[in-house]
Chains A and B, each alone.
Chain A
Amino acid sequence: MITVYHYLILSAIIFSIGTFGVLTRKNAIVIFMCIELMLNSVNLTFIALSRHLQNMDGQIFVFFIMTVAAAEAAVGLALMIAFYRNRESIDSDDFNMLKW
């Protein structure tokens, strides 16, 4: 029998893997993809709890998270293109123009 705990723990595992990727990768686009992974695990939590509580509100929240993720993808990738035009690289180690 699959309970809501199974879904919550699966979502926690995927979130931790996403955190691992954000902390350890250098390529900014892969970091971005790991952030998408974390957002998706939160979506899974929302839908599992929405089913568990027999309520529709969690799924509406998932809808808005997807909207924000789409906006974030557009703006974030535009930022990466602008950065690549200046520095010829998107390694996160090269993001040091504000350092002194």
Chain B
Amino acid sequence: MLSILFYLFATVAVFSAFYVTKSRSPVNSALWLVTTFICLAALYIMLDAPFMAAIQIMVYAGAIMVLIIFVIMLLNLGTAVKKRYTHALVWGGAMSVLMLFVTNFLIRRGVPTGKLGDVTTQTIQSYGHTELIGKAMFTDFLLPFEIASILLLVAIVGAVILSKREV
């Protein structure tokens, strides 16, 4: 059952990722990208990470995609009917296929081992995933969390300054 679901979501994710690069209109690309994000969220649920799936739907498929579609419609980028919309298809395809082969080789050759932690499926189901994430984030990763808030502040200021007509 789980493998059928995995192959279903993986196939849909790969196909919609391919159509992101293929479709001519940017709005179609954005909608295919939303499909990919939803499939990845389903895979996160299968990996015992339901909080990450919720964040994926809210932040990626919600906030970031709304921002991208807003900019596409603001700039009025219709479908480029006659103009070419791609370049360097042969070299780009060759590079990506080469990268796929190299990563496949490395994944098949290596064995992902290491010191096992104590977060098993039973722990996640008894404590709750959100509680474990919160505990790790506000104890071990407190300083990166604060730095991330400063990063977001800088990004807000930068976006406002960059899109102003006159500074």
Q: Does A associate with B in a complex?
A: yes
The answer to whether B112 touches A52, judged by C-beta atoms less than 8 angstroms apart, is yes
CB within 8 A of A71: which of B140, B151, B162?
B151
Q: Does B125 contact A (CB under 8 A)?
A: no
CB contact under 8 A between A33 and B55, given known A18-B17, A27-B85: no
Q: Tell yes or no: B156 within 8 A of A by CB.
A: yes
Contacts of B104 in A (CB 8 A): 9, 12
Partner pick for B6 among A6, A55, A64, CB 8 A cutoff? A6
Known: A60-B136, A80-B71. A54 touches B21 (CB 8 A): no
Distance A62 CA – B91 CA, assembled complex (angstroms): 31
Tally of A-B Cβ pairs under 8 angstroms: 221
**Which residue of B59, B108, B154 has the most chain A CB atoms within 10 A of its CB atom?**
B59
* Docked complex Cα distance between A1 and B6 (Å): 10
CB pair A14–B163 under 8 Å, yes or no, is no
Main secondary structure of the interface of B (DSSP, over half): helix
B interface residues with partner A (beta carbon < 8 Å): 2-3, 6, 10, 13-14, 17-18, 20-21, 26, 29-30, 33, 36-37, 40, 43-44, 46-49, 51-52, 55-56, 59-60, 63-64, 67-68, 71-72, 74-75, 77, 80, 84-89, 91-93, 95-97, 99-100, 103-104, 107-108, 112, 114-120, 132-133, 136-137, 140-141, 144, 148, 151-152, 154-156, 158-160, 162-163, 165
Q: Which 4 pairs of residues, A with B, have the shortest CB-CB distance? A: A23-B92, A21-B21, A71-B155, A55-B117
- For this complex, 30 residue pairs linking A to B, each with C-beta atoms less than 8 Å apart, are A2-B2, A2-B46, A14-B13, A18-B21, A20-B92, A20-B93, A20-B95, A21-B21, A26-B86, A36-B64, A43-B56, A44-B40, A44-B43, A49-B112, A52-B112, A54-B119, A56-B133, A59-B52, A66-B59, A67-B151, A67-B152, A69-B64, A71-B151, A71-B154, A74-B156, A74-B158, A74-B159, A79-B162, A81-B71, A81-B162
